[in-house]
Structures are given as C-alpha cells and as structure tokens.
C-alpha cells in the first residue's frame, strides 16, 4: 500500500508540475505578445511624468547595461507590469530587461525582476542569418525572448534547464516537439 501511495503521489506531482510548466510558458508567451504589441504601437511611458521617476532613474543607474537605452511600458489590465526594455540600434538584446509589478497604480521597483543576470547582446541580425542561439538558466524562455524574436524577425534557440526551446513567429516550444 505504501509503494502504491508513493507511485500515485509521484505521478500526481509529475503531472501537476507539467501543468504549472505549461501555464508559465503560456503566460510568458501571452506577456511577450502584449509587450511586442506595445512596442510596435509605440505606447511607451513618459517616465518623467511618473511619480516614481526618481526611483526609476536610480534603479536604472544601478542596474542598466552600458550603452543600452531603456524605455518603459505598462502592460496588462487586471494584473499590470511595468517593463523597462533595453535597446541598442538593431542589436538583439537578450539581457538585460526588467519587469516590475504595478500594485494599486504604483510601480513596485523593489520587486523588479531582471531578464538575465548579466548584459547580453547577440549583435545585429545579419541578412543571411535565420537563427541565433542563447542560454537561459530558467526552465523555459521568457517574454523577453519572444519580444526579441518578434521585433527582429529571427528564430531564437534558447537552451534551458528543460531542453532546447525554439522561439519563432510568436510561439515558444521545445525544439523536438514541433
């Protein structure tokens, strides 16, 4: 009976983790699509008009990558996030971008998350390049990978703890599961 209960519990845990994993990947795709739309529609936030402007400026001074220009975007309705997206010309910037929750209309910079631990530019996409490769220490790609793939029209292969993901045409999936 004890072994049967262990097998049942282990199976439930494995199935549950697959659903959580799928939900997190779907969320990253959804946020990445909304972020892409916001950037393509040029709905950036005028940071100087935000009450948190001084805090945002200080946050960037402490965390930004050298030579990278950052613009802010507010994304979402029920749950809202403030994104600081880094860019440098036509370079594919994997890191570092930032995401902070918005709580009661206030950007919670103390809860900000970085897209990567360090700065990472894959350089500009060359005309004869159809794909670029990066690694990510999380189990799956994030919305920033989807954003960069979308705005630069390039397939990204992202090596993660869970395997090699392909990020292409607004979707993220394990490369062997296409």
Per-residue pLDDT of the chain (178 residues; tens, 9 = 90+): 444 333 333 333 333 334 445 788 899 999 999 999 999 999 999 999 999 999 999 999 999 999 999 999 999 999 999 999 999 999 999 999 999 999 999 999 999 999 998 999 999 988 888 888 888 888 889 999 999 999 999 999 999 988 999 999 999 999 875 4
pTM of the model: 0.84
Residue 151 is predicted with a pLDDT of 94
How do strand 106-107 and strand 120-124 relate by DSSP bridges? Answer: unpaired
- The secondary structure of 52-88, three-state, reads CHHHHHHHHHHHCCCCCEEEEEEECCCCEEEEEEEEC
Is 72 within 8 Å of 44 (Cβ atoms)? yes
Residue 3 is predicted with a pLDDT of 42
Residue 18 is predicted with a pLDDT of 45
Q: How many residues does the chain have?
A: 178
Residue 16 is predicted with a pLDDT of 37
Residue 102 is predicted with a pLDDT of 97
CA distance 170 to 161: 21
Residue 177 is predicted with a pLDDT of 53
């Amino acid at each position: 009976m004890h072994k049967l209960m262990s097998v049942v519990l282990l199976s439930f845990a494995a199935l549950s983790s697959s659903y959580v994993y799928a939900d997190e990947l779907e969320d990253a795709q959804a946020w990445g699509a909304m972020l892409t739309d916001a950037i393509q529609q040029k709905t950036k936030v005028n940071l100087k008009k935000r009450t948190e402007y001084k805090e945002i400026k200080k946050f960037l001074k402490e965390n930004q990558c050298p030579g990278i220009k950052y613009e802010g975007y507010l994304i979402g309705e029920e749950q809202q996030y403030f994104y600081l997206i880094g860019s440098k010309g036509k370079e594919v910037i994997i890191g570092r971008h930032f995401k902070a929750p918005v709580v009661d209309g206030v950007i919670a910079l103390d809860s900000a998350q970085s897209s990567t631990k360090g700065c990472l530019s894959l350089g500009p996409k060359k005309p004869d390049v159809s794909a670029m490769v990066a690694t990510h220490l999380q189990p799956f790609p994030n919305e920033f990978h989807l954003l960069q793939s979308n705005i630069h029209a390039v397939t990204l292969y992202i090596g993660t703890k869970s395997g090699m993901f392909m990020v292409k045409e607004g979707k993220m999936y394990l490369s062997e599961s296409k």
